[in-house]
Amino acid sequence: MSGDTSTTDARSALGAIENRRLQVIEQINVPSWYWIAVAACWLGLGVLSDNAPSWVTIAATFAFGCVHSAIAPRVLSGGEATSQLKVRSELTGRRIRITVLGFLVALVGVTIGLALVFQAVGASQPATLASAVVAALILIGGPFLVGAARRRIAANLRSGAGIPAA
């Protein structure tokens, strides 16, 4: 076998490597159970807010925050394991975590704003209604945001910028 590699062979090999890297990036994901659990808990907190004593709502909110803070670092790495591959968090950087957590913080404001609007129009369960709307946004918007982050990571790879830390 010759030690010389033709330009065509080198380009072909580099193209195959880039295609494989893009296939790996396509595996970046947050599991669907995460979005379902967050939406269900969000709705549950809204129901409690409308129907339970304040101390129960505060305790449930604290419990949700504790459980989420324990689970989120692993789940939001973007490296959901598949039968074929586990994406390392170094590939995704902090982008997925920052995007998702920023999305959830913004939704707190949306929930409060919607609850105030529902209360102003005389709805009997304003926090529940607001939480239901936001739970739907979580189920729809969460996977969309992860897909957008995945596309940005792929675009950075294609442009030669590499994978940024944030």
* Residue with the larger pLDDT of the pair 135 and 154: 135
The rounded distance, in Å, linking the Cα atoms of 25 and 75 is 16
The rounded distance, in Å, linking the Cα atoms of 68 and 47 is 19
Q: Beta-carbon neighbour count of residue 49 at 10 Å?
A: 22
**CB 53 within 8 Å of CB 153:** no
| Total-model pTM | 0.76
In which residue are the tokens 């590699």 written? 5
Mean pLDDT for all residues in the chain: 83
Q: What's the rounded mean pLDDT across residues 16-34?
A: 77
Confidence of residue 21 (pLDDT cuts 50, 70, 90): confident
Segment 40-66, tens digit of pLDDT: 999 999 999 999 999 999 999 999 999
Report pLDDT for 1.
Answer: 46
Confidence of residue 75 (pLDDT cuts 50, 70, 90): confident
Show the tokens assigned to 137. Answer: 């946004």
Residue 150 pLDDT exceeds 70: yes
Residue 26 pLDDT exceeds 80: no
**CB 35 within 8 Å of CB 137:** no
* Residue with the larger pLDDT of the pair 84 and 56: 56
Share of the chain above pLDDT 90, in %: 47
User: Crossing angle of helices 126-158/32-51, nearest 10°?
Assistant: 160
